[in-house]
Structure 1
């Protein structure tokens, strides 16, 4: 009898997994995604606020209804910022609770930059690639997750076997304004045993990936304003300090010509053993559309994976003086650089302005101004956490392959809101790949990857329902 029950359970899990894959193959996924891509949810455009609201009301709320849950649209505490949808399906107090997150907004469509025959606001299929704004970031990803939940609910006869909370925001591409404040106010309502979410790219298209947090970022601007007006470089060269020259040297005192950070307070702490072990088999890049990695760039003594996932980088995003597209024979009066520190857990990022100010003063650049323009904290769940081992086992059971484990993503996400403000372990399972062109023209997802992703998520949600009152590691 026990063997029969175990066999039946495996078949039921298999049914959920196969039905999730069939959702992609049947055309249902394409239909859902095409409808959602057509919403021009450009959160960086203030006039998009009504569209952001309609996306939640017309697409996400009905999806919660199909899951037998309830939902509410919550206005943003930041005036003019996009709303949130919070959904609930509660089955039993003793069961684990998972919070599923996604974002319905996209970056600006920029239709004039897309290849001929493509549009940001409709799905165009070209072989394995499905083009459209939001296909990869993030409408395609949260559509797959919601559909996987439906398949598990159907396969288990109207039960998930766990409690579900859903949070969809509409401002992630604008820096998630109001997310932290809203989650702090509703921390009890959103509390869960686990955040299970999807965003960003896999390590490579063919390799399932799990990441457990993200590097943080601090954007800061260096300003140098020396005088009024430009002055002839022949008549005044050698007499007037050139702000572009000064600023270039100030930047060189922060990060050298090999990309190595020169400020001790901005360098990364030592890499923990568990993180170094997880990164041992990680090889960034190598895809057909990926750029070649520059060897000899960045922190010496580290592998490429450790440089981008386990260490800090200081990047110069723009450097401006004079009239770059129409230079004249004149010493410019001002210079400006927009810089960014990408950092891992343990970096004193909140003190960046004071650290940079002290460093510039000590190196003779007291005239260069420093101001922080944006921040996002770093987070990292230990690869040894029981929830991580549980997720990896589930993915391997579904795919037959071991997933790549990234202790944190190289980019930044508002993961600190879930890890620090609400307080829960965070596991991200991305459904895109590095060359998806998210944020640029010709954004797309891969149909083959989407089918595997739907199967993976159905397996994860099924296995979550198998825990019963227990938790991994208990």
Structure 2
């Protein structure tokens, strides 16, 4: 007979709640808020007020804040100042709904189910509303089974992650005494695949640059002038080609890390990343695809423009431009990324190309793979799952992890509840329904274990 106050009871209860119609209804309520971060009229405050009710029902005190025009919510439950304090994080904003582009006429702001595939659809279900609800469900299960969490908890929810987290750093600096914690445990991003529990300990940084080259005003006849005038499209194409080798390996000094820590290399051994959608012969030589995504740097051309591709004419274009994005791990000087690119282009004869950094910058940051908190979380997930989880040094994408490591000084452990094919920034964002009870059980086990952990075990002493 199952002890209703045991760890197993908390795990089972979390799974049962996540299978219940009430969970589905709660998820539908979250998705129904059209919290497109790019829209000034998005109901961001209303969404946080709704979420605050859920935390208040679990005995959390809630407080709203504002910074850089964005709202924030902090939910706190302090049980015993002598116990460890865990900070959680989530974001309730989304990318645009992309109405009219979803298959089968789906409304992005309504939870819909495909019975044939077992998938649930809705904007934010994967990024990040569904992941937040999983963690709230796990907290609820521990409270019901134990009567307490066994640790102190803060949960910080922002409404601007999809546009670069404006105000998040300022809020954390302002609230640092209130948010004093020992460890971040949060959920965002994908697992390595839908069925494999995954932990990642940081995130690659991201920096985006627009390159422009203008040679004259107006085009010139490609026959009468061809071969005698500089073609900015060709010049920029050669400049872009110089950024990597012919097989995609970075060639920009200052953009290339010195090496991969052995603990990170060991953690990635044998891993197939990105759901297997990789070209094994592309990228830095001597590295596996997993190392290239989770422990190395990459530069990608996001856009290239010259002339009118839809209606080309017989003319040499007068200008060309491209957008280049660098994803990078800790270990390079990210205060000089633009300078490094400038020096590289100049050295290759492209001094006329203008460089402008654009968009938000995420800094690279990560907790070491062998940190005690990382080992603790991996052991907890393994205990629940019956198999070791995949532990990644860094998420391939970018998150505001650096704010938690640098401003709040916390080790960071992320347990994602999505998967690579979820279409989170595209039409038809979805998750398999089966992932919710699985993830809720894993988090209930982790929260239960945190409630019994000593500071020494977590590496906090």
Counterpart mapping for 1:29-428 below 5 A: 29-48=23-42, 51-58=43-50, 60-76=51-67, 78-79=68-69, 82-127=70-115, 128-157=118-147, 159-286=148-275, 291=277, 293-373=278-358, 374-428=360-414
Q: Contact 1:345/1:380 (CA < 8 Å) preserved in 2?
A: yes
CA RMSD of aligned residues (A): 1.6
- Structure 1 unmatched ranges of 5 or more: 1-6
- CA deviations on 1:432-464 (whole Å, 9 max, x unpaired) are 111111110110011111111000111111111
Q: Secondary structure at the match of 1:357?
A: helix
TM-score of the two chains, using structure 2 as the length reference? 0.96
User: In 2, Cα distance between the equivalents of 1:294 and 1:467?
Assistant: 42
Query: Which 10-residue stretch deviates more, 304-313 or 181-190?
Result: 181-190
User: In 2, Cα distance between the equivalents of 1:389 and 1:329?
Assistant: 62
User: In 1, Cα distance between the equivalents of 2:225 and 2:288?
Assistant: 48
Note the C-alpha offset of 1:46: 2.1
User: In 2, Cα distance between the equivalents of 1:469 and 1:268?
Assistant: 33
User: In 2, Cα distance between the equivalents of 1:358 and 1:383?
Assistant: 34
Q: Contact 1:199/1:432 (CA < 8 Å) preserved in 2?
A: yes
Q: Secondary structure at the match of 2:247?
A: coil
User: In 2, Cα distance between the equivalents of 1:246 and 1:45?
Assistant: 38
Q: Secondary structure at the match of 2:440?
A: helix
- CA deviations on 1:70-122 (whole Å, 9 max, x unpaired) are 1111012x13xx21001111111100000010000111000211001422011
Note the C-alpha offset of 1:191: 2.1
What residue is the counterpart of 1:450 in the other structure? 436
> Aligned residue pairs: how many?
457
Q: Secondary structure at the match of 2:290?
A: helix
TM-score of the two chains, using structure 1 as the length reference? 0.94
Structure with more of its chain in helix, by fraction? 1
Note the C-alpha offset of 1:472: 2.4
Matched, 1:26 2:26: no
Q: Contact 1:214/1:413 (CA < 8 Å) preserved in 2?
A: yes
Q: Secondary structure at the match of 2:245?
A: coil
- CA deviations on 1:168-190 (whole Å, 9 max, x unpaired) are 00001111111112111222221
Q: Secondary structure at the match of 1:190?
A: coil
User: In 1, Cα distance between the equivalents of 2:37 and 2:234?
Assistant: 38
Q: Secondary structure at the match of 1:206?
A: coil
User: In 2, Cα distance between the equivalents of 1:447 and 1:402?
Assistant: 23
Mark the CA change 1:188 to 1:135 in structure 2 (over 3 Å): closer, same or farther: same
Note the C-alpha offset of 1:348: 1.6
